[in-house]
Amino acid sequence: MVLKNGESKREELVDVATAMIDGKMSLIEGTRKIGSLRHAVEDRDNEIFLPIRAIESETDHFPLGLMRKNCSREYLERMDNEMQSYLAEAKDDILAACKNIVSFFS
């Protein structure tokens, strides 16, 4: 069976949310990936994405991936501490949003 692009993106969306729930993907990286994928599932304005959009907006200044190699050690330490503090408060909301996404798009 060949999946249409939208269907495969829906599966990828569920896979990312599941990986976040299972602790196999960073919550911030996963949030960014879901933010990107929501544009490909033909339902990007669905209110189910509102918590993810808010979290993505609140965390867009945290350096991840290749961006980190251009940052000083002191800056990374400060941002990592800030990110951990943010996640301590937001983790339950992020995981609840992921569970809603899995339920809705499965």
pTM (two decimals): 0.87
- Determine the Cα–Cα distance for residues 38 and 22; give it in Å rounded to an integer: 20
Residues contacting 20, CB < 8 A, separation 6+: 26, 27, 30, 31, 94, 95, 98
pLDDT tens, per residue, the chain with 106 residues: 334 555 788 999 999 999 999 999 999 999 999 999 998 887 778 899 999 999 999 999 999 999 999 999 999 999 999 999 999 999 999 999 999 999 999 9
